[in-house]
Amino acid sequence: MLKIGLLGLGTVGTGVLEVLEQNRAKIERRAGGPLRVARALVRDPARHSGKPVELTTRAADVLEDPDIQIVVEVMGGLEPARSYMLEALGRGKAVVTANKEAVAEAGSELFAAAERGRSDLFFEASVAGGIPIIHALKESLAANRITEVLGIVNGTTNYILSQMSLKGREFAEALAEAQAKGYAEADPTADVEGHDAARKLAILASIAFEARVKPEHVPTQGIAGITQRDIRYARELGYAVKLLALAREEEGELEAGVYPALLPSEHPLSAVHDAFNAIFLRGDACGEAMFYGRGAGAHPTASAVLGDVVDAARHLRMGGRAVACTCYHPLHRKARGTTPRRHYLRLILEDRPGVLAQVARAFGDQGVSLTTVLQKAMVGELAEVVFLTHLASDVRIEAALGALSKLASVGAVGNWLRIEGERG
């Protein structure tokens, strides 16, 4: 009998207990023998009365118990979760975690502790809930040189953008609906500003490109500036607006970022709606592949956690170690804003002859060529005009916008979004 200690018994911890009980025979058969959750660390035992597990408010009761060989951390947050995991790994216990913040911020420290303790660290549930992307990158796709990871990895923002696209909601209305359904927190900052997605991308990029990537290496932009106008104009032009997490390696340089972007409507990620997640990647041997599913929730996340528990149990019973940290490759980070890509810009301009020529000249002076110019609506006495560009770097677009801001004929920049996912 292998004993498990739970750190946390909230939504995910409760899901772990439920799925383990529901599929116990199959899980134990694959784990090579019986499993039992022996003890769970909670803040308030009264809130969890009736749960089929011994409760404690002392972390030491889990971490120092020699009979507990697998510690499952589902508390969330950097501390004290990080410290608890370090202690468990140092004591030779296998650790399974769903904590994206701790893995993204302290992954190297956790792996070093696992190496010293001759223990294992598993973190499948830290990215994209029930989607088995970590295992795929570390093992199933190990023969590949991954060149690009492009993902929708935050269910809250995807739900908001889906409501804006499919039901015509404005951002504030869609956010309120996401909060009412429990998809968004009362303080949605981490989601709508892209910080949650940046942590997940840091983990994915570290594995995919075998290089240490931390959240501070990921430039991040949220979706609060997306309007119904942008959604509608993008659709008319054959695109969908998505919050993308992107990491790309080219000639030994790594580019990473999280930002809202236009995707061609035929791209597989454009059809990912509501709170679902998906990760699209390219490998030199496998070609294109996409992983799709529920990115959060009690049972999808518990599925990933218990898959890791099965691996941990098999290693403990049969010997051997899990794949350790592979983040050793010395990739250089690409200079920010230097990758050529196409862009969408929505400008508010004076509606008079010669203005479009002035705007085109400002773009041209910075080496930005325009492919599409569409006047969409009037805003009072001003015209709303949408521009699509040929390939150009962010730096050139920023320079062009700086020049445009000095023109009296330019009332405002309505929005600027990158275009991703186009072939050729």
pLDDT of residue 50: 84
Residue closest to 160 by CA, chosen among 210, 196, 114, 204 = 196
Q: What is the dihedral of CA 123, 128, 130, 133, to 10 degrees?
A: -70
Q: DSSP letters along 125-173, please?
A: GGSSTT--HHHIIIIITTTS-EEEEEEE--HHHHHHHHHHHHH---HHH
133-294 and 342-419: same fold?
no
pLDDT greater than 60 at residue 32: yes
Residue-wise pLDDT for 221-237, tens only, equals 999 999 999 999 999 99
Tokens of 297: 């929730």
Helices (H), 53-151: 60-63, 81-90, 100-117, 133-135
Using CA atoms, how far apart are residues 301 and 298, in angstroms rounded to an integer? 6
Structure tokens at 102: 């701790």
Q: Could you give the angle at which helices 298-318 and 11-22 cross, rounded to 10 degrees?
A: 60
**Residues ≥6 apart with Cβ < 8 Å to 57:** 41, 42, 43, 44, 45
What DSSP state is assigned to residue 219?
-
Q: Which of 93, 100, 200, 334 is catalytic?
A: 200
Q: The tokens of 396 are what?
A: 């050139």
More confident residue, 46 or 419: 419
pTM of the model: 0.94
Average pLDDT over residues 24-50: 95
Cβ(29)–Cβ(66) below 8 Å: no
The predicted model gives 242-254 an average pLDDT of 93
287 backbone φψ class: left, alpha, beta (φ>0; ψ -120 to 50): left
- Residue 156: both structure tokens together: 């809250």
Is pLDDT of 320 > 90? no
- Who has greater pLDDT, 424 or 190? 190
- What are the residues facing 377 on neighbouring strands? 384
Residues 67-122: tens digit of each pLDDT: 999 999 999 999 999 999 999 999 999 999 999 999 999 999 999 999 999 999 99
Q: How far from the centroid of its chain's Cα atoms is residue 61's Cα? A: 33
pLDDT at 328 over 80: no
Structure tokens at 255: 């580019």
pLDDT at 424: 55
Task: Give CATH superfamily name and number for 342-419.
Answer: ACT domain (3.30.70.260)
Options 3.20.20.70, 3.90.1300.10, 3.20.20.140, 3.30.360.10; which CATH number does 133-294 get?
Answer: 3.30.360.10
Domains in the chain: boundaries? 2-129+298-318, 133-294, 342-419
Predicted confidence at residue 49, as pLDDT, reads: 85
Could you say which of 1.10.238.10, 3.40.50.300, 1.10.3720.10, 3.40.50.720 is the CATH number of the domain covering 2-129+298-318?
3.40.50.720
Residue at token pair 């659709």: 235
Residues in the chain: 424
Neighbours of 245 (CB within 10 A): 30
Active site (annotated) includes residue 200: yes
Helix (H) or strand (E) holding 91: none
Please work out, in degrees rounded to the nearest 5, the angle formed at the alpha carbon of residue 26 by the alpha carbons of 25 and 29. Answer: 85
7/223 Cα distance (integer angstroms): 33
- Burial degree of 335 (CB within 10 A; 0-12, 13-18, 19+): exposed
Task: Give dist(CA 260, CA 244) in Å, integer.
Answer: 6
Q: What is the mean pLDDT of residues 35-64?
A: 94
Q: Decide: helix, strand or coil at residue 347.
A: strand
Number of Cβ atoms within 10 Å of the Cβ of 309:
25
Sequence-ordered list of residues with C-beta below 8 angstroms from that of 194, at least 6 positions apart, any chain: 154, 157, 220, 221, 222, 223, 243, 258, 259
Q: Beta strands 94-97 and 121-122: pairing type? A: parallel
Backbone angles phi, psi at 264, to 5 degrees: -55, 140
Per DSSP, the residues of 363-379 read HHHTT--EEEEEEEEEE
Total Cβ atoms within 10 A of residue 332: 10
